[in-house]
Amino acid sequence: MITVPVELGDRSYDVLVGPGARHRLLEVLPIGVQRAAVVTQEGVGVPVDPGVEHATFLMDEGEEAKSLETVEDLCRGFARWGLTRADVVVAVGGGVVTDTAGFAAAAYHRGVPVVHVATTLLGQVDAAIGGKTGVNLPEGKNLVGAFWQPAAVLCDTEVLSTLPPREYLSGCGEMAKYHFLDPGAEALEDLPLDERVAACVRIKADVVSSDERESGRRALLNYGHTLAHALETAGHYDLRHGEAVAIGLVFAARLAQRTERIDGDRVRYHEHVVRGYGLPTELPAGVDLDQLLALMRRDKKALDGLTFVLDGPGGVEVVHGVPEADVRLALEAM
């Protein structure tokens, strides 16, 4: 079992990575907890035993369940069961579950502890780590949420073998992102799965520890996500989150080349990494470029015109005020 600490002072916690990690749940519950509200989805199918009195609260399936309505349903269920601040919420599932249950835990009684048992690759390398919780609005993804650090995260790599191929592939989109965020990450593809997941967690933990509330460096974790979120918000493209991120990574590289931040070799390396995971590198057929541009203007990083995380001579960084003409040309090249 690999343990990766997330150093945040009195909010620090461990991420346990390895086969069977879910069976360590009782060990990582906050001291003194008597009851656990287990939030999951019927399709997750990963049973857990918190080792204390517990009740299960089911969410609907799909990205549509990541909503304020679901948060209200969960909180009302917690209230009827009598959940208190001395208890814990255990989120078992992928990013939709950990994002939504984490936000419900942050809001209920103004905050009860939460432990994440991440059951998807995407959840293990990204969504369950770092304390960003939230739900979607029709106007955009993750527009309502809170920073609420978990008490612990369990990444059981044993359950990844049960994922549908496309769900696993979606996680690879987030994994591909980490190749560009750390100079040592280029060797990720050579690591066994447990070590690769742990390496991604270490990169994210380092970033989160230095910028918990996304005032600067943490925005780098959104590499590839500006276009990805626009594609997802548009809603009529057959794309999983990681597939959209993969397209967003290649687009960000093309945009960085157009703004003379990187050269063609670096763009080709982005394409090599993305293709190596079996992910798409082009926009879906028939995209509405005007709609995508409008959605990208709403991105929560945007402070001065169009804002993107872009590669460059000093590595990946946030770039404000990117000319719209360059963005459109980079999209057309996709």
With residues binned 3-state (H G I as helix, E B as strand, rest as coil), the percentages for the chain, rounded to 5, are 50, 20, 35
| Strands in 81-139 per DSSP E | 88-93, 114-118, 132-137
Task: Using CB atoms within 10 Å of the CB of residue 293, give its burial: 0 to 12 exposed, 13 to 18 middle, 19+ buried.
Answer: middle
- Catalytic site residue from 22, 222, 254, 270: 222
Q: Is 261 a catalytic residue?
A: no
- Catalytic site residue from 22, 116, 179, 225: 225
Q: Is 23 a catalytic residue?
A: no
- Catalytic site residue from 229, 254, 258, 270: 229
Q: Is 110 a catalytic residue?
A: yes
Classify residue 131 as left (phi > 0), alpha (psi -120 to 50) or beta. Answer: left
Beta-ladder partners of 132: 147
User: What's the rounded Cα separation, in Å, for the pair 317 and 120?
Assistant: 28
- Catalytic site residue from 22, 66, 116, 132: 132
Q: Is 136 a catalytic residue?
A: no
- Can you list the pairs that 75-81 forms with residues at least 24 positions away whose Cβ atoms lie under 8 Å? 75/104, 75/107, 75/108, 77/37, 78/37, 78/104, 78/108, 79/108, 81/37, 81/55
- Catalytic site residue from 241, 254, 258, 270: 241
Angle (nearest 5°) at CA 32 between 29 and 38 = 45
Q: Is 229 a catalytic residue?
A: yes
Q: In 3D, which of 326, 195, 199, 159 has the Cα closest to residue 255?
A: 326
Q: Are 116 and 125 in contact (CB under 8 A)?
A: no
- Catalytic site residue from 177, 179, 202, 218: 218
Q: Is 69 a catalytic residue?
A: no
- Catalytic site residue from 66, 179, 196, 214: 214
Which amino acid type is present at position 107? A
State the DSSP code for 301: T
Q: Is 179 a catalytic residue?
A: no
- Catalytic site residue from 204, 240, 254, 258: 204
Q: Is 222 a catalytic residue?
A: yes
- Catalytic site residue from 136, 174, 196, 202: 174
Q: Annotated active-site positions, please? A: 110, 132, 174, 204, 214, 218, 222, 225, 229, 241
